[in-house]
Structure 1
Amino acid sequence: MASPQRLKSHVSTRAVPDKPWHAYITIDLLAAVLARSVFHPFIAWLIPLCLRSLSYPYSHPYFHYSCAYAAGVTLFALLCKLDKRLAWGPPRKINWDEEVVVITGGAGGLGRVLAETYSMRGVSVAVLDIREPEEAESEGMQNVRLYRCDVSKIEEVRRAKEEIEKDLGPPTILINNAGTVSGAPLLSLTPSQINLTLQTNLHSHFHTLQTFLPTLLTNPDGGTIVTVASVLGRIGAANLTDYAAAKAGLIALHASLRAELASPSAPAGAENVRTVLVTPGQLGTALFAGVQTPSAFLGPVVEAVELAGEIVRVVDEGVSGEVSLPLYARWVGVLGVLPYSMQRVARWASGVDRAMEGFGGGKKER
């Protein structure tokens, strides 16, 4: 394996698209505005306070209704907090002076944005990728090292781990992000294409987990494992049989890993390891270049910067959890309980099975 290299900085030169103002209004934007306004406990309690400032008596029905609404919003927020704590447990201690982040497929796309984000914080970052970044080196990326490594081969992953521990220290955060896509109909896929997709998108996670998890278990402050899957792992799509199958395998792998870490027979230190599952919709990266989103309002394209911000936020909190963007990705599982006739209507209306018709091959991110 080649010696580690400094990861070069990436500065996006993509032009801002010329779109009308209403094209930027999405259901996710509306939901975010509502969550931070009328559905926020602080704002909800301002309503009865405003009524009192207008000299409404305590006995007035409007005052009663506003108090009941504010109490309901507050109770719902508290129940959400309680549910999160019961589901994922207490947070682990994060010490950024000691954390070492390993990102697979970090030379481009989402992995590149995550690497740059942690680099700007001064965190030690190791990127495992088979290709080098394209941009010139800059001062903002001194904390990021590139290790030439094919994560589909466990021998190379093990050698990379030894180099990382020698250069940066024991890894504490593993972000499994490497991926590739064929985008061809099932009957057009060659055995080599299928093997490449499964090895890169699925088998590599087994390799990195078996290599890095023992180190996370021995760390007194534990560690965090991030699994970057896809909403397609839950619903599938035409012309994406190999990709969707691999992502569905990742969702099952992550669930099984979480169960093993929580079981009574779990190895020592398992209680300090946190797991984060990421199931995004269509990403605005080179991996799906040429794919047109069926509905920009209901299913907007997720920018890598936006998704990276959510991943970093959850990792910062030191908790387990799930990250699903855009909004529909959180509720897409509901389709599975509907009659199949209704599922067919929903798939036709969403256009999910027509999205790959304009696919130009994309740019592989491994």
Structure 2
Amino acid sequence: MNIKDYVLPTSLVVPFGVNIDTLIYLCLLTIFHPLGTWILCFGNFELFSEKFCFTITLLWIIRGINKYYRSLPNINTNRTVLITGGGNGLGLECVKSLNSDVNISKIIVVDLCPRLEFEHFKKVEFLKFDLNNDIDKLIQQINLEEIDVVVLNAGKRQTKTISSLSTSELSSILNINLISNIKLLKSYIEISTQTTNKTRHIVVVGSVLGFVGPCKLGIYSCTKISLLAILESLQTEIPSWIRLSMILPGQLNSQMFADVSVNEFLAPIIDIRLLSLKIRNIVNNGENGSFAYPMYGRLLPIYQILPWWMQKCCRWFSGMDNV
């Protein structure tokens, strides 16, 4: 891990502009950075007390220790990556960013429709498969033992109320978003535990909607919180050489949620290109754990314990049910 990862705040995955994430980033870079606080303490400003400066410095040290112990940099070269749902949106951007990584020699993309760009990517091997079908057929087509990194990104959005969903639509959302991921995870972990000579990494793209269920997204949210619970349990079951990362993004600037409008100051739209670079860094650094973006995603678990009237106010103010 680069030294700047320890001494600088986490880079933004949203456009630099008028939003809460940019404001917090600038504060962490200046007045809430150890260097900035000590300058403001001992300079002519005298804005902060020494206790405040020591507290800020201690918090940054704790942050650095957490980063160090959650990371196991992948030193393997000529790595092979398997990514599901790599034909559109965030998945496509991940393919592009991983394709430029010199340590990655092969990228297996699983999706329904190939992209014309893939013809220019020498590392990409496209595999057409519908994840709504029996995932065991896909597992038989892939040599999971050669896979170093698995990125489970495929997902399907719900667009109707739960009562309006047909049985086939319900099954399709559950199969693509949850069942296929569980089966692929299980098969990959079984093979990975048999070989201890190299680091492996599993990245699962979930959603902050796993913490809250907006209107017409109840089943979608159900699949995301289920994945989060499964991964938390897996962290205690898998060996240390298998890294497990859960990406929990908010609304992306992709087509899946293009019709959804929210308060962009509190919930800025994520740039999928920036998020794909973040995922690549997480893979290269071998970082364990959950990563929620943007900032409000880290606070959403608190929403569940708020009084009912306060939850209703939050839903109204955020516009999350305007689907």
Q: Same fold (TM over 0.5)?
A: yes
Q: 1:179 aligns with which of 152, 155, 171?
A: 155
Q: Does structure 2 retain, via aligned residues, the 8 Å contact 1:150–1:156?
A: no
Q: Does structure 2 retain, via aligned residues, the 8 Å contact 1:48–1:66?
A: yes
How many Å separate the matches in 1 of 2:161 and 2:70? 45
Point out where structure 2 has 5 or more consecutive residues left out of the alignment. 1-14
Shift of 1:23: 9.9
Q: Does structure 1 retain, via aligned residues, the 8 Å contact 2:94–2:276?
A: yes
- Residue in structure 1 matched with residue 10 of structure 2 by the alignment: none
Shift of 1:135: 4.2
Q: Does structure 2 retain, via aligned residues, the 8 Å contact 1:180–1:201?
A: yes
Shift of 1:43: 2.4
- Residue in structure 2 matched with residue 243 of structure 1 by the alignment: 220
Shift of 1:93: 4.1
- Residue in structure 2 matched with residue 119 of structure 1 by the alignment: 99
1:89-112 residue CA offsets vs partner (Å, 9 max, x unmatched) = 453241252321111101111111
Q: 2:287 aligns with which of 316, 319, 332?
A: 319
- Residue in structure 2 matched with residue 289 of structure 1 by the alignment: 258
- SS at 2:151's partner residue? strand
How many Å separate the matches in 1 of 2:161 and 2:200? 39
Q: Runs in 1 of length 4+ with deviation above 4 angstroms?
A: none
How many Å separate the matches in 2 of 1:306 and 1:286? 16
Counterpart AA for 1:26: N
The answer to whether 1:192 aligns with 2:173 is no
Say which is worse superposed, 32-41 or 74-83, in terms of deviation. Answer: 74-83
Q: Does structure 1 retain, via aligned residues, the 8 Å contact 2:210–2:223?
A: yes
Shift of 1:160: 3.1
| 1:254 to 1:42, Cα distance in 2 relative to 1, 3 A | same
- Residue in structure 1 matched with residue 138 of structure 2 by the alignment: 157
- Residue in structure 2 matched with residue 329 of structure 1 by the alignment: 297
CA RMSD of aligned residues (A): 2.3
Give 1:1-366 correspondences, 5 Å limit: 24-48=17-41, 50-51=43-44, 62=46, 65-84=48-67, 89=69, 91-122=71-102, 123=104, 124-135=106-117, 137-138=119-120, 141-152=121-132, 153-162=134-143, 170-217=146-193, 218-261=195-238, 270-292=239-261, 294-354=262-322, 356=323
Q: Does structure 1 retain, via aligned residues, the 8 Å contact 2:19–2:265?
A: yes
- SS at 2:78's partner residue? coil
1:288-346 residue CA offsets vs partner (Å, 9 max, x unmatched) = 23222x20111111111122122222222112022111110110111111112211121
| 1:125 to 1:219, Cα distance in 2 relative to 1, 3 A | farther
Q: Does structure 2 retain, via aligned residues, the 8 Å contact 1:149–1:156?
A: no
Q: Does structure 2 retain, via aligned residues, the 8 Å contact 1:171–1:215?
A: no
| 1:287 to 1:134, Cα distance in 2 relative to 1, 3 A | farther
Q: Does structure 2 retain, via aligned residues, the 8 Å contact 1:125–1:145?
A: yes
- SS at 2:256's partner residue? helix
- Residue in structure 2 matched with residue 16 of structure 1 by the alignment: none
| Count of residues paired in the alignment | 305
TM-score (norm 1): 0.77
How many Å separate the matches in 2 of 1:158 and 1:84? 33
Q: Does structure 1 retain, via aligned residues, the 8 Å contact 2:16–2:22?
A: no
Counterpart AA for 2:206: A
- Residue in structure 2 matched with residue 8 of structure 1 by the alignment: none
Shift of 1:184: 0.7
- SS at 1:286's partner residue? coil
1:124-145 residue CA offsets vs partner (Å, 9 max, x unmatched) = 211111221144732xx21121
Shift of 1:211: 2.4
TM-score (norm 2): 0.87
| 1:48 to 1:341, Cα distance in 2 relative to 1, 3 A | closer
- SS at 2:235's partner residue? helix
How many Å separate the matches in 1 of 2:237 and 2:94? 27
Sequence identity percentage: 27
- Pick the structure with greater CA Rg: 1
How many Å separate the matches in 1 of 2:252 and 2:264? 13
| 1:125 to 1:49, Cα distance in 2 relative to 1, 3 A | farther
How many Å separate the matches in 2 of 1:157 and 1:136? 20
